[in-house]
Amino acid sequence: MENKLTAIDTLAELESFLLQVENGGLGLTGVSGVGMATNNADGSRFVAVFDDKQQLLLAREITEEIFQNGQDMVRNGVGRKH
C-alpha cells in the first residue's frame, strides 16, 4: 500500500477522510471512486481512492471493525452535513 499513515480506527475518522476526498481537500485530481479492499500480501484492510481508469490514487489502512461497519458509508458517500 502506498500511504502508511495511522490506520483509520473510528467511523468518525472514516467520515472525515471521505469528506476530504469528496470535497477535494486532499489535493487529488481525477477522483472517480472510493472502495474498501483487502491487501492480498498480508490480509490488511484499506480504503482506496481511484481515478477514472481505476488506478489507485491514495490508500489508507483501516481496522477490521471499520471494514465491517463502514461499508455503507463508503458505498453511499457521506455528503455535506447541514
Q: What is the pLDDT of residues 70-79, one digit of tens each?
A: 999 999 988 6
So what's the pLDDT on residue 82?
46
So what's the pLDDT on residue 66?
97
Q: Retrieve residue 35's grid coordinates.
A: 472502495
The chain-wide mean pLDDT, for the chain, equals 89
If you write DSSP's letter for every residue of 25-58 in order, what string do you get? TT---SEEEEEEEE-TTT--EEEEEEETT--EEE
What three-state secondary structure class fits 14?
helix
So what's the pLDDT on residue 4?
53
Higher-confidence position of 19 and 81: 19
Which of 2-6, 39-43, 48-52, 75-79 shows the lowest per-residue confidence on average (mean pLDDT)?
2-6
> Which residue in 54, 71, 80, 82 sits closest to 14, CA to CA?
71
Global confidence as pTM? 0.84
